[in-house]
Chain A
Amino acid sequence: MSGPVHPLTEAQSGLWYAQRLAPGNPLFNTGQYIELTGPLDLPAFEAALAQGVAEAASLSLRMEETPAGPVQRVLHEARPHLHIIDVSAAPDPLAAAQADIARDMAIPVDPTRDPLAGERLFILGPRRFVWQQRIHHLAIDGYGMILLTQRVAELYNARLRGTPQGNPLPGLGVVLAEDAAYRGSPKREQDAAFWGALFADRPDVASLAPGAPVSAAQFHRRAVEIDAATFARLRALAERIAIPWPDVLTALAGAYVRRHTGTPEVILGVPFMARLGSAAARVPAMLMNVLPLRLAPDEDAPLDEMLAQAAKAFTRARRHGRYRSEQLRRDLKLIGGQRRLHGPLVNILPFDETPRFSGLETRLEVLSTGPVEDITFTFRLHGTEGLRLEVDANPDLYTIGEVEAHTARLSTFVATCLTARRLADVPTATMAEARRYLFEVNDTTRPVPDVTLSALIEAGLARTPDATAVRFNGGTIDCATLEARSRALAGQMVRAGVGRGSIVAIALPRSLELIVALLAVLRAGAAYLPLDLSHPDERLARILSSAEPVLALALPQERPRFGRVPVLAPDDWESRPGEATLPIAQPDDAAYVIYTSGSTGEPKGVVVEHRAIVNRLEWMRVHYGFDASDRILQKTPMTFDVSVWEFFLPFISGASLVVAPPEAHRDPRAIATLIREEGVTTAHFVPSMLAAFLAEPAAKGVRLARVFCSGEELPAELRDRFHRTVVAELHNLYGPTEAAVDVSYWPASAEDASHPVPIGFPVWNTRLYVLDDANRPQPPGVAGHLYLAGVQLARGYLGRPDLTAERFVPDPFVPGERMYKTGDLASWRSEGAVVYLGRSDHQIKIRGLRVELGEIEAAVMSAGLVRQAAIIAREDQPGAQRIVAYVVADGAPDIERLRAHVAARVPDYMVPSAFVALEALPVTSNGKLDRSALPAPDFAGTGGRHPATATERRLAELFAEQLGVSDEMSAEDDFFSLGGDSLQAVALLLRVRELFGHDPGLGALFSHPSIAALAALIDAGEGVVEAGLDPLITLIEGAPDLPPLFAIHPAGGISWCYGRLARALQPRRTVHGLQAPALAPDVPLASSLDALAADYAARIRQVFPQGPYHLVGWSVGGILAQAVAVKLAEGGARLGVVAMLDAYPTDCWRDEPEPQEGDALKALLAIAGHDPDRLPALALNRQSVIAFLRATDSPLGTLPDAALDGVVRVVAGNSALVRGHFHTRYAGTITYFRAALDHEGTGLTPQLWAPYVGALDITDVPSLHAFLTGPEATAVIAPVLARAMERTDNKDETPCATMASPAASLSSPAPAEA
């Protein structure tokens, strides 16, 4: 017995689609259980339940897939019956019941086959029961579940007490009627307009974790009770300002989310019951909607005002709450992929859901309320006074630790807000988090001798007088000599007036003399000031006048550059120490002064004291275990503070110093040679230089004990490349000049998979703070300003107390100490390491998307076409930020190849707008990239310019016309990035032909999709014209070093259908489409499928002689792919991936009736994107089909008659070819994609290929056969296919296991089963 057939409601459709995409996901089961304690009257309960379930018709629904879409009907057999399970004999009956319930909830339900609901009663003991309900979300929502449960309780109580039964639950009819009425109503149009306007600016949607919000099969849950005082405060506040308390909570939760995203606004998903004012209000059914609520809380406004504003926005949105969010997604083109409509869900349930059963105590446990895509904050009222916060989160995006942290943090945040005047006064972190991230992670106290650097060095040199101290250019000096010469020069300087508190400038090239000079200045009690003479005179003059050195140690010919400062040249240095005693410096005397460029361009002299640098050096010596066996390379220019440890660490650790020749630090080859020849154990690289070094062939296999990186962000990719190239430990250090070289460290080992690479943990006696704008500690994972504190802080900026006070501020957490504001953004990881997130003053976003310059750089370098690269975002025109790649190559780099390579590896918005080839990258004197010296690119022809030529302007109009885009286009706009698909592409080319008299062809459009590039092709004249129907077309141009994929047409003979798949492959690789040669009217049909396969194999070999060959084919294309693979293998070629999209052996088709012309026309309709079975009124003859295609604006309808003839002929011909074909065995593996929603009851399975292939690797795609090249199926297929191809690409040239077996080719195929 079953009821009439109904379409699904709009509310159900979204869920239906989601469940069909993830048929194995059990989270579409909603469920709860109620523990009943007391004397349950079992017959009364059974009767009440039976009646309640009978009233709630939606529980008996059965779905059915039909050509006209999914439908549903009430099916008597599908109605749930109470199952009674006695677990009272179990040792822990409740646990036994819970385990059984968990198992039941984890079983996915097929709505077309299984009952949607289950009702079970567990007997735990004579007075203890558990009633479990599991109902598919298609049948019910959270409020519906309450209605049903309350109704069962009401019926039970009525039976027990003999009172009236009350009103039965209304039937499904009102739901269906209301849904139908709303679909065509003006109200729906108004609602659509409201949401369309609200989201007209297409806002970015942020959430608490990156990653794709696709529900897993389970979720994490943590819960906490909101304390009674807080709840009372919440109600009192809500009462006072006349806003419902749930809205207050939602607004506060939104403010909480915004604290984490750091964006100006957040978009919450808020469940909306959609029952007020509805005749369906009392029907247990699925009506619930999720509204995207935009919230930009004003942190400084009085809390009441902020809440009133938010509540007003919520009310406005609820008035249009019937409009389905799934529909809104479609309106906004947010379907598929990672595109979000909203961030976290906030769900407030302000009513007590626990039913009252007469004479029984009840406890409700809600198990699941549907899929958890991201994170859901639920506030649930229970009892009459209790409020509980539940945090449910997708385990693919959040760890259980993060969920726990959010549970505690949000409940604390809400409680604090309710006592605050405004949001700005409320910290984000809990007290426990503040304690941990201010103090525990910074517990770095470690005793260090309170001595000067000079004293440490003197002691070190005295320990091993005969040991080699310095090696330079083949020469060496021992410790005793170095001690004597530096003491002699120090004495000479003291006589010249140098002493404690004075500054001595040093401007010598790398040499033994330089080392003597550095030690001598320190031993004279003075601070050294390193100068780079390659700097312009003006800068030098400013530094000299600010630092006022009493003396300069420099080469004699440089004298004029020092003005009035006396110069003491090495030739005039004394080499025998005199008798004079040297001044004794104190730990708080300055050791060195290093000038850094301020953002204003005015150099600032950072004064670092002995105590600070001694702490840094002692930490490094002990932490990394430096000893006499070490040789430390000195190659960093002395104006960069990294040089400080290179210079001095050897002398305090017993190691020797290897001084690189001047200029060698810019020559990777020279560095590699030096490391090998001098046995260097320790070297430092700025990451950009490390990248250049690793690109140098001579660097391959270099061995060291350790390499340090600092000065720039260390990209994770570079870390991994390092470990593939060099044998050494890699350590990432971080610190500004203002804090004695480095303050944090991270072992970037080969096992380290961190992305990004952290800057790590604080060094000894050092504290790292990550603070919000109000100087409060941020919790882990939340971006904040990085501050430094501890013994290593510099004294300040020389002669600039104003600047010093601005950057070195009182430490609010340790009285009497200072902290330094780095200007960097950072966040904590939970284990206590810091992650660097960039400069706080320039976050790079292009089109609202965060750009990782390091990633682009890695892509540029991986091409192997350039030696060095620097990627920067420029803003040469205000408001127009563009990415520019500066590259250095041996000779002129092939920019077009480079661009194609990069485009294949990074998202389109990250592809540089310009590639500028330079002879060398400009660097500052510290060896860091000198951004200001990079030339502005000439953007003509490279990015963002307006269409200039007449052809470009006309093309821009055609793009706009085809794509329905009204924005002004730039010459670089890409047809496919703008949303064009392959059918629109054909239509575009037809218009091009009308306007220009010829078109460059579909293949050309795929490879030159921008206005500028296509215009250039058009202007180049007729040349080779591809109508898009040639036997071999290029669907997309990809990385030149990856073997292409050949996609073989399905029955229609056209391979445009693979365009989407081609564009979805990452990394991007070239995809060629093979098309039936007989599409051309003058080419006869192939004589056999084998002959056709041989023809394709020959064409494939012609375009890519070297192999290996990747093949894919859909349907008939799959049969062809197998046959082509056989042909290629017979010719000795290496096969890569051979993939089939739902193809079945010819045996299956041989006995089917011969196709009629109508079947060919149906295939044509399918190619145009229509389901022919849904067009019953269309006559299947050529005229009406072509008329239909023209009327529906299908580009196919405008194909020349000859081409259409060709398609019809090919469809019919292919059918004959398939019937006449007998397979030869292909010994390799077939990568098989099965249309998992199809073929039920037909016996068609991939296993039918078993006799003809070596192995099958099957992926189920939740799709029908006809939609396998659509967006949803492509999202499943593309990554699997890309990975499979990558695996075989990376395999070395192993002898192919893909030879066809000669024996098999002789045997005849097994006869088809009837």
Chain B
Amino acid sequence: MSIEPGDIQRIVTPAVPVTREKMRADIARMLHEDPSEIGDEDSLMDLGLDSMRAMNLVLAWSEGGLELEFAEFAENPTLAGWWALVEARQNTRNG
């Protein structure tokens, strides 16, 4: 498999694994809330998350080299839904 020029940075930068709790904390910070306020199944939009914040989060989590699609995150904005997406991608990468 060839290496894309754009992939080089992803390869040389050690990926910080994204965890469910890191995601909870990041979301909470964006909403200026305590992480305990973010339930797994809560609609993040009801908690006040807007598209710009959501996009910012997805971009931040993909900085470690994960191929995350904002549109997939947009379909189901809950922490559980998002963690499922991230987990699946991390498994593909590691697998």
Contacts and interface: CB of A to CB of B under 8 A. Distances in A.
Interface of A: 143, 147, 150, 161, 242, 244-247, 272-279, 281-282, 314-315, 318-319, 321, 348, 350-351, 356, 358-359, 361, 384
Given A150-B69, A281-B72, A321-B50, 14 more contacts: A143-B71, A242-B30, A244-B30, A244-B53, A277-B45, A277-B74, A278-B75, A279-B75, A281-B75, A282-B71, A314-B52, A315-B50, A350-B59, A361-B5
6 contacts: A242-B30, A242-B32, A244-B55, A273-B51, A275-B51, A384-B6
B29 A281 contact: no
Which one of B50, B56, B72 has the greatest number of beta carbons of chain A within 10 Å? B50
B50 A318 contact: yes
B70 interface: yes
A1122 B30 CA distance: 70
A272 B51 contact: yes
Nearest to B5: A361
Nearest to B30: A242
Interface in B55-91: 55-56, 59, 69-72, 74-75, 77
B77 A276 contact: yes
A568 to B, nearest CB: 82
Given A276-B51, A351-B59, A281 B6 contact: no
B42 to A, nearest CB: 12
Given A242-B30, A277-B74, A319 B55 contact: no
Nearest to A315: B50
A358 B56 CA distance: 26
Contacts of A242: 29-30, 32
A156 to B, nearest CB: 13
Contact of B50 (A143, A161, A276, A278): A276
Interface string B10-45: 000000000000000000011010000000000101
Interface of B: 1-2, 4-6, 9, 29-30, 32, 43, 45, 48-56, 59, 69-72, 74-75, 77
B15 to A, nearest CB: 15
B31 to A, nearest CB: 9
A319 B29 contact: no
A749 B80 CA distance: 74
A147 B71 contact: yes
Contacts of B53: 244, 315
Contacts of B1: 161
Contacts of A348: 52
A246 B43 CA distance: 23
Nearest to A161: B1
A458 to B, nearest CB: 76
A245 B71 contact: no
Contacts of B70: 351
Nearest to B60: A239
A351 B53 CA distance: 13
A361 B7 CA distance: 12
A928 B27 CA distance: 67
Contacts of A351: 55, 59, 70
A278 B54 CA distance: 13
A279 to B, nearest CB: 6
Nearest to B28: A242
Given A242-B30, A351-B59, A281 B52 contact: no
Of all A-B residue pairs in the complex, the 9 with the closest CB atoms, nearest first, are A281-B74, A244-B56, A318-B50, A276-B51, A282-B71, A281-B75, A275-B74, A276-B74, A277-B45
Contacts of B2: 358-359
B9 A350 contact: no
Nearest to A272: B51
Given A242-B30, A356-B4, A361-B5, A278 B74 contact: yes
Nearest to B52: A244
B43 A277 contact: yes
Contact of B56 (A147, A246, A282, A359): A246
B71 A246 contact: no
Contact of B48 (A147, A275, A315): A315
Contacts of A315: 48, 50, 53
A277 B77 CA distance: 6
A1101 B32 CA distance: 77
Nearest to A274: B51
Given A315-B50, A318-B50, A350 B55 contact: yes
Contacts of A356: 4, 6
- With most chain B CB atoms within 10 A of its CB, the pick from A147, A244, A275, A348 is A244
Nearest to A245: B56
Contact of A276 (B9, B29, B54): B54
Contacts of A275: 51, 71, 74
A314 B50 CA distance: 9
Contacts of B71: 143, 147, 275, 281-282
Contacts of B32: 242
Name the residue in B45, B51, B55, B59 with the highest tally of chain A Cβ atoms < 10 Å from its Cβ. B51
Contacts of A278: 74-75
Contacts of A147: 71
B9 to A, nearest CB: 7
From A247, A275, A276, A361, residue with most partner B Cβ within 10 Å: A276
A474 to B, nearest CB: 83
Which of B30, B54, B70 has the most A CB atoms < 10 Å from its CB? Answer: B70
Contact of A358 (B4, B9, B48, B54): B4
B51 A318 contact: yes
B7 to A, nearest CB: 8
A1022 B2 CA distance: 95
A276 B4 contact: no
A242 B4 CA distance: 33
Contact of A350 (B29, B50, B56, B75): B56
A350 B55 CA distance: 8
Contacts of A321: 50-51
Contacts of A161: 1
A1299 B86 CA distance: 83
Contacts of B5: 361
Contacts of B56: 244-246, 350
A321 B53 CA distance: 14
Contacts of B77: 276-277
B79 to A, nearest CB: 14
Nearest to B10: A384
Contacts of B55: 244, 246, 350-351
A7 to B, nearest CB: 24
Given A161-B1, A281-B74, A319 B50 contact: yes
A505 to B, nearest CB: 72
Nearest to A157: B4
Contacts of B54: 276
Contacts of A279: 75
User: Which of A245, A272, A275 has its CB near the most chain B CB atoms (within 10 A)?
Assistant: A275
Contacts of A245: 56
A869 B4 CA distance: 77
A150 B9 CA distance: 20
B63 to A, nearest CB: 8
A718 to B, nearest CB: 52
A1051 B69 CA distance: 60
Contacts of A272: 51
A681 B78 CA distance: 84
A319 B59 contact: no
Nearest to A242: B29
Given A242-B29, A272-B51, A276-B51, A282 B9 contact: no
Contacts of B59: 350-351
A361 B71 CA distance: 24
A282 B71 CA distance: 5
A696 to B, nearest CB: 66
Given A242-B32, A273-B51, A350-B59, A319 B74 contact: no
Contacts of A276: 45, 49-51, 54, 74, 77
Contacts of A277: 43, 45, 74, 77
A150 B77 CA distance: 21
